[in-house]
Amino acid sequence: MTFCKPTIFQGTIRTLLFVAFLSLACPTNGEQWQEDALKKEGVIPEIIDSVKAYPLNITYGDGVEVKYGNLIKPTLAGSAPTKVNWDADPNKLYVLVMTDPDAPARGAKLLGEVNHWMIVNIPGSDLDLSKGDTLADYGPPGPPRGTGPHRYVFVVYEQQGKFVPSPKYSERLTVTALAKRIKFSVKEFAKEFNLGEPVAANFFLSEYTPPRNVFPRIIPASSAKNFSSTTNLSTKIAVLGACGGIGQPLSLLLKMNPRVHELAMYDIQYPQGVASDLSHVPSPCAVQGFGAGQIMEALKDAKIVVCAAGSPRKAGVTREEQFRINSKVVKELAKSCSIMNPHAIYCIVTNPINSTVPLFCEIFKRAGVLNEGKILGISNLGMMRASSYIAKEKGWKPSSVSCPVIGGHSGITIVPIISQCKPDPQLSPEQVKLVTHEIREAGAEIVAAKKGAGTVALSIAWSAHKFIDSLLRAVDGEKGIVETAYVKGSVAEVNYFSNPVELGPEGVVKNLGLPQLNDYEKSLLNDCIPALTQHIRAGEGAATDSRPNLVPNAMVL
């Protein structure tokens, strides 16, 4: 048998075919480093088993690119990427997912993966994300202090057809819906919807960035007398809703309080800008802003958390209508708080307090972490108003008057106890009725006077700061601190009631119950109870959630 010697042409063909085979079977040099990076940081096989193609190009504002494991500061990824593209089939639809598998830390993944972003039905023809359906709003990175770099992984899947969400994914997740974002799994998601192997992937690393403006913690000698020997010089306070009409002036007052060492300002709109503005106020308190998706770090190590988030009361809007709006915000924040920092003392400012406090408590109860003495509705505004109106009536200095107000925090549930006012104003029955009416309607009158341009804010911020300052003194070990608060208990045969309480390092240490009432005040209390009971039931009922509890009851972070 005779073999023909291969020609140069035939050898070239064979070489080209072999090279083509290798190019199909193996990643190119340009792709190999990307695959190596995914494997080096454990994205493969921890988050995904493999990926079909490369690259996935992602760019944030100011030209910050995601480059397979590069380090990006959280502030540079505060908003959704401005550019996202990959090698797409123009006739297909795609899913884009962003996940953090390292919550709260890579060595302690108690929360599983956290779903930071999810868009389905993205058209391959132009990869316009706005034409897709968002199932989870973009949540920026918020790695907690001391947990090292977190991996933020982007994965793209090709859909078999139009994506139809199951009940589990039917509700669009807002930035505050942390309880519904945790325990996520990219692999399980792909398996549930038969998405197959991802067509592209990329990731970056991000770690905690400390506050910029930190002054030395120095207490002037002239102020030393205001502190007990057990003063806590490292008290951190977190304000949720810090950029709102109440949150901003309250944050300013807290910034100037020498008992506050660190102030975390959380909001979904412009928190970094407001925090930067406030940081220029010369006081020892360090300030940092936290945006959407960063509530974990805002809550971390906070001794006191103030909830001032939600929509303010507007002209023509009833308390019931206001609660329907604010209950959604409070519910999601309470879920996050019950997971991230269940042992803090919570001061609720968000109205209507008659319902938001029961809602907050019920969420904590369902999570198995409720401590009744640590969830306090700040209701001393009624007492402040009563003192002001009585002082005006008598021509006294408001600061010299103290008039208890009990019951609830709105309308008929507000019960001034003028008979126990110090000093005794000796008002006539007609004057008592007039002052009672003025106290009850003060909020509505302010809303009407502002003609829709604002709501009650400054007086609420002032009264809230007064309460928090008293709480800080109690936390520092000062004894006999008494304030009025709306708390869970069994006063006046209702589950929640506003009355004087004694504060201690862990919240309420003693409920002082009802003061002595005269006949007129007893009649006011009798009228208060049915309305207050209805408000409480509305708050407790709003905690109902058809989704299963995603968080173990015993979880403590």
CA angle, residues 281, 307, 237, in degrees to nearest 5: 45
Three-state SS letters, 195-251: CCCCCEEEEEEECCCCCCCCCCCCCCHHHHHHCCCCCCCCCEEEEECCCCCCHHHHH
Helices 519-541 and 429-449 meet at what angle, rounded to 10?
A: 30
| pLDDT higher than 90, residue 407 | yes
pLDDT at 103: 84
Domain 230-379 belongs in CATH node 3.40.50.720: yes
Read off the pLDDT of residues 523-546 as tens digits, 9 standing for 90 and up.
999 999 999 999 999 999 999 854
> If you average pLDDT over residues 244-254, what whole number do you get?
95
What would the mean pLDDT of 191-200 be, rounded to a whole number?
Answer: 93
CATH of region 27-206, choose from 3.30.428.10, 3.40.50.1220, 3.30.420.40, 3.90.280.10: 3.90.280.10
- Helix, strand, coil proportions of the chain in percent (round to 5)? 40, 20, 40
Q: Full-prediction pTM beyond 0.95?
A: no
How many angstroms separate the CA atoms of 235 and 503, rounded? 16
Residue 366 has pLDDT above 80, yes or no: yes
Task: Using the predicted structure, report yes or no on whether residue 70 has a pLDDT greater than 90.
Answer: yes
- For residue 551, pLDDT over 50 is answered with no
Q: Note if 409 is an active site residue.
A: yes
Strand 93-100 with 70-71, pairing: unpaired
pLDDT at 218: 38
Quick: pLDDT tens for 436-461: 999 998 877 887 787 766 678 899 99
Q: In 349-493, where does DSSP find H-type helix?
A: 353-366, 381-394, 429-449, 458-475
pLDDT of 367-378, one tens digit each?
899 999 999 999
Q: Residue 485: phi, psi to the nearest 5?
A: -145, 150
| Equal CATH topology for 27-206 and 382-539 | no
Question: Residue 550: what pLDDT?
Answer: 30
**11-50 residue pLDDT tens:** 554 544 444 444 444 455 556 888 889 999 999 999 999 9
Burial class of residue 361 (count of CB atoms within 10 Å of its CB; 0-12, 13-18, 19+): buried
Residue 315 pLDDT:
64
Residue 274, token pair as written in the block: 């407001």
- Alpha-carbon distance of 536 to 186, in angstroms, equals 40
- Residue 313: the pLDDT is 65
Residue 143 is predicted with a pLDDT of 84
How large a percentage of the chain has pLDDT more than 90? 63
Point out the catalytic residue in the list 409, 437, 465, 535. Answer: 409
Token output for 404: 């208890």
Predicted confidence at residue 553, as pLDDT, reads 26
Fold classification of 382-539 is: L-2-Hydroxyisocaproate Dehydrogenase; Chain A, domain 2 (3.90.110)
pLDDT, position 277: 93
Pairwise pLDDT comparison (331 vs 217), residue with the higher score: 331
- Which one, of 278, 267, 342, lies nearest residue 310 by Cα? 267
pLDDT of 207 over the 60 cut: yes
**Share of residues in the chain with pLDDT > 70 (%):** 85
Query: Using CA atoms, how far apart are residues 113 and 100, in angstroms rounded to an integer?
Result: 5
Q: Which of 310-314, 350-354, 376-380 is predicted least confidently?
A: 310-314
Q: Within a 10 A sphere around the Cβ of 460, how many other Cβ atoms?
A: 22
Is the pLDDT higher at 254 or at 219? 254
User: Is the confidence at residue 182, as pLDDT, over 60?
Assistant: yes
Token look-up 């302690």 returns 108
Q: How confident is the model at residue 268 (pLDDT cuts 50, 70, 90)?
A: confident
Domain boundaries, the chain: 27-206, 230-379, 382-539
Task: Name the residue with higher pLDDT: 144 or 197.
Answer: 197
| pLDDT for the residue 454 | 65
CB 259 within 8 A of CB 473: yes
Confidence of residue 54 (pLDDT cuts 50, 70, 90): low
> Rounded to whole angstroms, how far apart are CA atoms 378 and 221?
32
Task: Reply yes or no on whether the pLDDT at 332 is more than 60.
Answer: yes
Q: Taking 80 as the threshold, does the pLDDT of residue 520 lie above it?
A: yes
DSSP H helices, 400-518, are 429-449, 458-475
Q: Amino acid identity of 172? A: R
Average pLDDT over residues 335-362: 94
